[in-house]
Chains A and B, each alone.
Chain A
Amino acid sequence: MDRTTLDLWVGIFVAAGVAALVGLSMKVGNLTSSNLGVTYSLHADYENIGGLKVRAPVKSAGVVVGRVADIHFDDTTKAAVVTVNIDTRYHFDKDTIAPIYTSGLLGEQFISLLPGGSDENLKNGDKIGKVQNALVLEDMIGKFLTSKASETNDKKAE
């Protein structure tokens, strides 16, 4: 085969391969949606983060506004310190509450940001004061069972 035809075929092959890679990233993967651009970071301390993972979404009103950047355990306060990166386009005030929610009954966990009423906004490196721990399914079931049990005990006592 002459060299130019060969080069042409290889060119087509490489172009198709690169296109497939880009296609995978855009169409199949979440490269476009996870692209946050410039971010600033905030911290929050939780007693229990449940199954929260690094890179889990941070949502406000259901829209992804950032991602969990780091999770570590603080030995002095015995709390989980979660660092989140928030897109600089979005601003949250100092009274913002940051509960950990679960999407669906068994879905992935994410941090939700519920705006408060303060006039001052959180800046890079600030700490979110008001948090709400993750709901742990086992705890809930446990509570439910004990309350049921005490109910039936009460009924028996009557």
Chain B
Amino acid sequence: MFDRMNRGLRNIGHRFIDRIWRLGSASRFFFYTLALSGESLRRFHLTVREIYFTGVLSLIIMLVSALFVGMVLGLQGYNTLQKYGSSDAIGVLVALSLVRELGPVVTALLFAGRAGTAITAEIGLMKATEQLSAMEMMAVNPIARVVAPRFWAGVISMPLLAALFSMMGVFGGYLVAVPLLGIDDGAFWSQMQASVDFREDIVNGVIKSFVFGIACTIIALFEGYDAPPTAEGVSRATTRTVVNSSLAVLGLDFVLTSFMIG
């Protein structure tokens, strides 16, 4: 009995230490990537290529999701606001929720699922098939040549995707509010413009998505780079990318929001 408890405790401690250790190596990986970013910025076509794979290919899922999120916000918001006789404020509700929270957060979650897993699987497979080793033996640093361009592509893509998401979401809200529920077109936009502040809301939203871009991309890259070079290892790493990115995004969102509001 005592022995089993002891073992359980030791197990928890072991896992905790393992997490801390991984956090440490992920941070080291992050700084190493930053330090070796020169090449990916100098030979920018390497980064452009990766923007295509992370950004452009994620576009469809982002836009479709955004449209639905906006429409749902419109319906739900109308239902609630109507009780207080202020259904004209629907534009404000849709725009503020999207620009401040849902735009950056949902984009980051979808990004982790769409682009993040693709990055992890790709890097993991490159490692499993010794492509990264081969590159090293050709005197080409895989961090500079493979990791850094993907990192910058993710960091550049995320704010753009989030902006497109918010824009599309507002459009979805508009579709529900104005043609469907009969809110006045002018009231929808003017109330929105009166309440959405450039500095407080839009810039803060962009800052958030920028931070999420860094977090999601580096997690995906690290999990791929750190994956055991087997089929099982890569598939586990892919799962970990989604789990860790989602947790990181939601946690960071709380921290950033409390800084921005406080």
B48 to chain A: closest residue by CB: A10
**B249 part of interface (Cβ distance < 8 Å):** no
Residues of A within 8 A of B189 (CB): 27
A interface majority secondary structure: helix
**A28 and B192 contact, CB distance less than 8 A:** yes
**B160 and A18 contact, CB distance less than 8 A:** yes
**B34 part of interface (Cβ distance < 8 Å):** no
User: A10-B51, A10-B52 are contacts. A21–B163 as well, Cβ < 8 Å?
Assistant: yes
B161 to chain A: closest residue by CB: A17
**B202 and A28 contact, CB distance less than 8 A:** yes
**B197 and A34 contact, CB distance less than 8 A:** yes
**A6 part of interface (Cβ distance < 8 Å):** yes
What 0/1 readout, one digit per residue, does chain B (155-184) give for beta carbons within 8 Å of chain A? 011011101101100100000000000000
B103 to chain A: closest residue by CB: A24
A21→B159 CA distance, assembly (Å)? 9
**B56 and A24 contact, CB distance less than 8 A:** no
**A7 part of interface (Cβ distance < 8 Å):** yes
A22 to chain B: closest residue by CB: B163
What 0/1 readout, one digit per residue, does chain A (120-148) give for beta carbons within 8 Å of chain B? 00000000000000000000000000000
**B201 part of interface (Cβ distance < 8 Å):** yes
B98 to chain A: closest residue by CB: A28
Interface size bracket, B side:
20 to 34
Residues of B within 8 A of A16 (CB): 160, 164
Residues of B within 8 A of A7 (CB): 45, 48
Residues of A within 8 A of B99 (CB): 24, 28-29
What 0/1 readout, one digit per residue, does chain A (23-49) give for beta carbons within 8 Å of chain B? 111011111011000000000000000
What 0/1 readout, one digit per residue, does chain A (1-23) give for beta carbons within 8 Å of chain B? 10100110110111011101101
User: A20-B166, A33-B193 are contacts. A25–B202 as well, Cβ < 8 Å?
Assistant: yes
Residues of B within 8 A of A24 (CB): 99, 163, 166-167, 170, 202
**A59 part of interface (Cβ distance < 8 Å):** no
User: A24-B163, A24-B166 are contacts. A30–B45 as well, Cβ < 8 Å?
Assistant: no
A12→B192 CA distance, assembly (Å)? 28
- A88-141 contacts to B (CB < 8 Å): none
**B206 part of interface (Cβ distance < 8 Å):** yes
User: A29-B201, A30-B194 are contacts. A21–B206 as well, Cβ < 8 Å?
Assistant: yes
**A25 and B198 contact, CB distance less than 8 A:** yes
Residues of A within 8 A of B160 (CB): 13-14, 16-18, 20-21
A5 to chain B: closest residue by CB: B52
**B55 and A28 contact, CB distance less than 8 A:** no
A20→B169 CA distance, assembly (Å)? 11
What 0/1 readout, one digit per residue, does chain B (196-235) give for beta carbons within 8 Å of chain A? 1111111000100000000000000000000000000000
**B196 and A10 contact, CB distance less than 8 A:** no
A35 to chain B: closest residue by CB: B198
**B28 part of interface (Cβ distance < 8 Å):** no
User: A29-B198, A30-B198 are contacts. A13–B163 as well, Cβ < 8 Å?
Assistant: no
**B49 part of interface (Cβ distance < 8 Å):** yes
Using CB atoms and an 8 Å cutoff, list the residues of chain B in contact with chain A.
45, 48-49, 51-52, 55-56, 59, 95, 99, 156-157, 159-161, 163-164, 166-167, 170, 189, 192-194, 196-202, 206
Give 7 nearest A-B pairs by CB, closest first. Answer: A17-B160, A20-B163, A20-B167, A31-B198, A21-B163, A29-B198, A20-B164
Can you report 14 A-B residue pairs in the complex whose CB atoms are below 8 A from each other?
A: A1-B52, A6-B48, A6-B49, A6-B52, A9-B52, A17-B55, A21-B160, A23-B167, A24-B166, A27-B189, A28-B170, A28-B193, A29-B99, A33-B193
Using CB atoms and an 8 Å cutoff, list the residues of chain A in contact with chain B.
1, 3, 6-7, 9-10, 12-14, 16-18, 20-21, 23-25, 27-31, 33-34, 55
